[in-house]
Amino acid sequence: MPLIALAVAGLAVGFETLVQWKYGPMGIIAFAALSIGLKARNTVISGIGAVILVMLLAQSG
């Protein structure tokens, strides 16, 4: 079980670094809002983060 938690944490840190490198500070804000909203089970905050990420992805495509 701890190995799975370490792997998931490593993937999250890697994804966060990728988002910051590719999309800059706005990507980090969106990713943070999404993850905080999911942990707090707050759909408004997670929805805002998800919308910002989708807008950033659509803009670069």
Convert the pLDDT of each residue in 35-46 to its tens digit: 899 889 999 999
Convert the pLDDT of each residue in 1-37 to its tens digit: 688 888 888 888 888 787 778 888 888 888 889 889 9
Q: Reduced to 3 states, what is the DSSP secondary structure of residue 42?
A: coil
Q: What is the pTM of this model?
A: 0.69
Domain ranges of the chain: 2-60
pLDDT at 5: 83
- For residue 33, what are the contacts with CB-CB under 8 A and spacing of at least 6? 45, 46, 48, 49, 52
